[in-house]
């Protein structure tokens, strides 16, 4: 388990690794995704183990690489959205990833928290900017944490991906590098930071962990194809449950 840094007092958050569950094969062991081919009974047990360390059940989203942002009051099981925010104490927001970026956001006065799923499609459609716009607080008072995701060394893309980002702003060209072998590499974390700062977010922290580079700790769709999903969660409030670990 990873405990995000840089978030305000009064806010709790965690990001799981792939360790501590009961799944086997390409989903071993703490797969929390229920739509990636794993045994549903194993996923259910993994989620039960996770919930024991939380103040309440996670509010899962049906992530579709889009830009829909919901308030927790709109949530219902199976809702399609890629970002959510809450001002309800103890309500856990959850984002699943296996290379895409989980981005957790909190107001400096601990009045609200938010979470976003940011793959390249969502980033290029500015899901992070839309999330910041949806929050009823000044963005300068927000802190954001960019969780484990694929790093540029392992993320080769085609020119259409670069073109999609440049349509959002020429300043995003800095998120791409042409390697000596002619391959184009994208740095999603750099792009996410740039978009958050452009939206006015006051503090941005990057955990600097690459999912594709660490098969022991992380699932990676780009590396393995069939694989499980980690989860990153955030909620208002503190509790000793945050200090417990899956190992």
DSSP-assigned letters across all residues of 224-246: HSS---EEEEEEES--GGGG---
Whole-model pTM: value is 0.96
Residue 243's pLDDT is what? 41
Work out the mean pLDDT of the chain and round it to a whole number. Answer: 95
Contact 36, 228 (CB under 8 A): yes
Query: Does residue 1 lie within any of the structural domains?
Result: no
Count of structural domains within the chain: 1
For residue 48, the 8-state DSSP code is: H
Residue 33's pLDDT is what? 98
Let me know the angle formed at the C-alpha of 155 by 152 and 156, rounded to the nearest 5 degrees.
Answer: 115
Percent of the chain with pLDDT over 70: 96
- Token output for 26: 């390409």
For residue 2, the 8-state DSSP code is: B
Query: Does residue 2 lie within any of the structural domains?
Result: no
Query: Does residue 4 lie within any of the structural domains?
Result: no
Residue 242's pLDDT is what? 46
Query: Does residue 212 lie within any of the structural domains?
Result: yes
Confidence of residue 157 (pLDDT cuts 50, 70, 90): very high
Residue 191 to residue 203: CA distance in whole angstroms: 15
Query: Does residue 214 lie within any of the structural domains?
Result: yes
- Residue ranges making up the domain that contains 40: 11-243
Query: Does residue 161 lie within any of the structural domains?
Result: yes
Tens of pLDDT, residues 103-148: 999 999 999 999 999 999 999 999 999 999 999 999 999 999 999 9
**Paired residues of 206 in beta bridges:** 146
Residue 246 to residue 226: CA distance in whole angstroms: 23
Q: Is the pLDDT of residue 240 over 60?
A: no
Query: Does residue 179 lie within any of the structural domains?
Result: yes
- Token output for 97: 């990833």
Domain holding 40: CATH number? 3.60.140.10
Query: Does residue 6 lie within any of the structural domains?
Result: no
Give burial (CB, 10 Å; 0-12/13-18/19+) of 168. middle
31-to-96, 134, 148, 201, 223 alpha-carbon distances in Å: 10, 31, 15, 32, 16
Residue 104's pLDDT is what? 98
191-to-23, 40, 129, 144, 177 alpha-carbon distances in Å: 33, 35, 12, 14, 12
Question: At a CB cut-off of 8 Å and minimum separation 6, what does 42 contact?
Answer: 21, 22, 23, 24, 27, 31
- Token output for 150: 């694929």
For residue 202, the 8-state DSSP code is: S
Question: At a CB cut-off of 8 Å and minimum separation 6, what does 48 contact?
Answer: none
Residue 238's pLDDT is what? 73
Tens of pLDDT, residues 58-76: 999 999 999 999 999 999 9
Let me know the angle formed at the C-alpha of 4 by 115 and 86, rounded to the nearest 5 degrees.
Answer: 30
């Amino acid at each position: 388990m990873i405990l995000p840094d840089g978030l305000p007092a009064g806010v709790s958050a965690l990001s799981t690794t792939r360790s501590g569950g009961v799944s086997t094969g390409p989903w071993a062991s703490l797969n929390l995704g229920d739509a990636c081919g794993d045994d549903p009974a194993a996923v259910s047990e993994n989620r039960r183990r996770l919930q024991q360390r939380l103040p309440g059940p996670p509010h899962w989203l049906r992530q579709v690489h889009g830009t829909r942002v919901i308030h927790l009051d709109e949530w219902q099981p199976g809702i399609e959205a890629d970002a959510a925010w809450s001002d309800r104490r103890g309500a856990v927001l959850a984002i699943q990833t296996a290379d895409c970026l989980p981005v957790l956001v909190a107001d400096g006065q601990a009045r609200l928290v938010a979470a976003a799923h940011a793959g390249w499609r969502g980033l290029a459609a500015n899901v992070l900017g839309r999330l910041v716009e949806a929050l009823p607080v000044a963005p300068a008072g927000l802190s954001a944490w960019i969780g484990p995701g694929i790093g540029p060394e392992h993320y080769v893309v085609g020119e259409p991906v670069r073109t999609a980002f440049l349509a959002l702003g020429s300043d995003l060209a800095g998120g791409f590098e042409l390697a000596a072998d002619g391959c184009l590499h994208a740095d999603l974390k750099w792009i996410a930071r740039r978009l958050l700062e452009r939206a006015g977010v006051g503090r941005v922290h990057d955990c600097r962990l690459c999912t594709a580079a660490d098969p022991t700790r992380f699932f990676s769709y780009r590396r393995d194809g069939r694989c499980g999903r980690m989860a990153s969660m955030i909620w208002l409030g503190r509790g000793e449950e945050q200090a417990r670990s899956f190992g």
